[in-house]
Amino acid sequence: MQPLVIAQDQLAEQEFQRRLFVLRKRAMHESAPDSWFYVCSLAVRNIVYKGLLTPAQVPEYYTDLRDSTFETHFALVHSRFSTNTFPSWERAQPFNWCAHNGEINTLRGNKNWMRAREGLLQSAAFGSQLQSAFPIIDEHSSDSGAFDNVLELLVVSGAMTMPEAVMVMVPEAWQNDPLMPAEKRAFYEWASCVMEPWDGPALFTFSDGRYCGASLDRNGLRPCRYYVTDDDRMICASEVGAVKVDPKSVLQKGRLMPGRMLLVDTLAGTIVDDEELKLQYARQHPFQQWIEEHQIRLEQLKPSNKLADIDDTPVSRDKRLRAFGYSAEQLNLIIGPMVLGGK
């Protein structure tokens, strides 16, 4: 089924996108889990074509892709569906805003922290409608789908641009890099307080209709090669030869390095330099000042001489274990030996 949603007169594009976001979230949350209901695409600038199809079957199923009058300024292609979960329509790539090659090995923590934040999330743009979008991460989604859910929220809410949101979710290895500019290190330290890194090994490709790019996580264990041709095309793929290119037309070629971002601003018609882009965002706000004024470090805490109350409750049933995310097994096998060994 292909419904058409038309905006009211004088409705701003960003507001229209937010309403579509809430509409899709509510529709999917309120449908029965076994109804096989899934909204493949509902956005202002992007159209997603996907399914449990081989690459050759996609244009046969979606006749738009065989129409000679159909034009686009970018295309993001993922030629297989989910590999680490049972294949289904909603887990097929690409998603609403991104496609992903690899695994997100921090997924459980990312999902748990995002769910914990929902009680505190506020948005002037969404107002009370934000509650209709909860849970932000679909519990049946794959790791790629969970990443897409969070990326979409950050961008559609207007809190961040697409490149800035990717910087926050997929940071560089900034902690022990003495050559990194102080402003950029401060940005990443601030970002680490806002969002835990979605670490792979993973290669993320993304687009919101204006920006189209790729970002390799700091582990750097997924390949990404790119060409820039003399007819103003950027071709980026997980391997060389995915698209046939005349070698004579290639102006520039290379590979994406760990923690780096490859970005095209289709509105400006430019390839954005990674370092220039990240310094631009790092200098937007006084991140270092915010950290110094609001962050509490362990060395700033004064030790308390007050003894903890001890009662007859067995350790295995102590509510503080669950509150802080520990099990009795971890206490006995990990924490206890660490204490005894002075580690």
Give the pLDDT of residue 146. 95
Give the pLDDT of residue 37. 85
What does the alpha-carbon distance between residue 335 and residue 326 come to, in Å, rounded to a whole number?
A: 10
What does the alpha-carbon distance between residue 60 and residue 62 come to, in Å, rounded to a whole number?
A: 6
Helices 162-169 & 274-282, crossing angle to 10 degrees?
A: 90
The CA-based angle 214-218-220, given to 5 degrees, is 75
Give the pLDDT of residue 315. 81
Give the pLDDT of residue 325. 85
Nearest to 154 by CA among 142, 165, 140: 165
Q: 290 and 296 in contact (C-beta within 8 Å)?
A: no
- Identify the segments of the chain with pLDDT beneath 70: 1, 32-33, 80-85
Give the pLDDT of residue 82. 57
Nearest to 264 by CA among 232, 297, 219, 307: 232
Other residues' Cβ atoms within 10 Å of the Cβ of residue 158: 15
Which residues are CB-neighbours of 34 under 8 A, at least 6 positions away?
none
Total-model pTM: 0.87
